[in-house]
Amino acid sequence: MTLKSRPGSLGKRLTPYLYLSPTMVLMIILMLVPIVIVIGYSFYDNVIMNKHPVFIGIKNYAEILTDKNFHQTIYNTAFFTISSVVFHMIIGLTFSMLLNSKLLHQTTRSIFRVIYVLPWVFTAAIIAILWRLMLNPNGIVNYFLNIFGTIDSKVEWLGSRDTALYAVTFINIWSGYPFYMVSLLAGLQGISIDLYEAAEVDGANSVQKFLYITIPQLKPIIVSMAMLDCIWTMQQFSLIWMTTGGGPIRATEMLSTYTYKLAFSKYEFSQASSSAVIILIFSMLLAFIYVRKQKARD
């Protein structure tokens, strides 16, 4: 008796699909159908609000792609995403290497590991409120900056057009690095000590060991984390929505908040759908690269 289904018996051939059926039903109704609907919406005028929407082809896309605010949105999202990914990586790598240091006692390492992972256990709503408290003009961040003489005035970090984008990016960096840290830590622990010992015999210093052993060994993890992070950060909605709402005056408007406002503040569901499809295309492109990279590794 083998576990492979024998061709010929229809029942046997259907068994694997039977096990998959709950997932497939859910994914068809709540993933496939909605994607088809949203793509359909994007070619019509005034859907949902109008009972008989008119087919207008790619007019919605043309309007969105020529909208100055949309260009601003693209710039903001790109800045937010790229800075977040780069700093997540730097901080995650630094912290994981500190935590992996052989100079420390096991207990010390576990205590710091719990502290370092803390930002991860908070939901966006909590992170947003906490940082609105800390970055308030009268808040603790300005207090410390005053004491150390860096600034004199009360900066409105999240309320000023000059600083808001940097502030939300800073918050997102704080909340997202533990994901990298945890994975890189496991990756570091998986690197064979023999490699380092061999390098020491050859007279390598710590910088060389880092550049020629640690980084190449971690590269597959770093690349796949960066791809996933790009996809998720680009789609970030809740953190932006609850800290600045995309403001002041679109200074922190991201693709997701732009789309949400089109749909649920302006009730332009058709244009919102086009914008939503554009985000979907970006995400799928990144996902495609990600899946290909994964396959190449297998």
Partner 1 sequence: MSKTTGRNIGKIIVIIMLLIGAVYAGFPVVWMFLCSFKPNTEIFAYPPTFISDTFSLNAYRSILTNSEKIRFFLNSYFVSSVVTILTLFVSVLSAYSFSRFEFKLKKTLNMLIISVQAVPPITLLIPYFGLIVALKLYNTYWALIFTYMVFTLPYAIIMMTGYFNTLPKELDEAVMIDGGSRLLALWKVLIPISIPGMISVGMYTFMQAWNEYLFALTLTKTIEMRTVPIGIQQLMGQHSYEWNEMMAMSILGCLPVLLLFLFFQRYFIEGMTAGSVKS
Q: Let me know: does 96 contact 181? Beta carbons within 8 Å.
A: yes
Q: Rank residues 72 and 136 by Cβ distance to partner 1 and give the closer one.
A: 136
DSSP of 77-145: HHHHHHHHHHHHHHHHHHHHHHHT-TTS-HHHHHHHHHHHHGGGGS-HHHHHHHHHHHTSTTSHHHHHH
Q: Maximum distance among all alpha carbons in the chain?
A: 81
Q: What is the Cα 174 distance to its own chain's centre?
A: 13
- The least distance separating partner 1 from the CB of residue 264, rounded to whole angstroms, comes to 7
- The least distance separating partner 1 from the CB of residue 64, rounded to whole angstroms, comes to 14
Q: Rank residues 115 and 193 by Cβ distance to partner 1 and give the closer one.
A: 115
Count other Cβ atoms within 10 Å, centred on residue 239: 22
- The least distance separating partner 1 from the CB of residue 80, rounded to whole angstroms, comes to 15
Q: Rank residues 70 and 260 by Cβ distance to partner 1 and give the closer one.
A: 260
Q: Rank residues 80 and 269 by Cβ distance to partner 1 and give the closer one.
A: 269
Tokens (6 digits) for 195: 């490699």
Length of the chain as a residue count: 298
Burial of 168 (0-12, 13-18, 19+ CB in 10 A): buried
In angstroms, the Cα distances linking 203 to 59, 191, 208, 214, 226 are 65, 19, 10, 16, 33
Q: Rank residues 79 and 174 by Cβ distance to partner 1 and give the closer one.
A: 174
- Of the candidates 171, 173, 169, 193, the one whose C-alpha atom is nearest the C-alpha of residue 181 is 173
- The least distance separating partner 1 from the CB of residue 158, rounded to whole angstroms, comes to 13
- The least distance separating partner 1 from the CB of residue 294, rounded to whole angstroms, comes to 7
Question: Terminus-to-terminus CA distance in the chain, angstroms?
Answer: 30
Q: Rank residues 15 and 192 by Cβ distance to partner 1 and give the closer one.
A: 15
Q: Rank residues 76 and 273 by Cβ distance to partner 1 and give the closer one.
A: 273
- The least distance separating partner 1 from the CB of residue 68, rounded to whole angstroms, comes to 21
Residues contacting residue 179 through CB under 8 Å, at least 6 positions apart: 88, 92, 120, 225, 229
- The least distance separating partner 1 from the CB of residue 278, rounded to whole angstroms, comes to 9
Alpha-carbon distance 94 to 114, whole Å?
A: 16
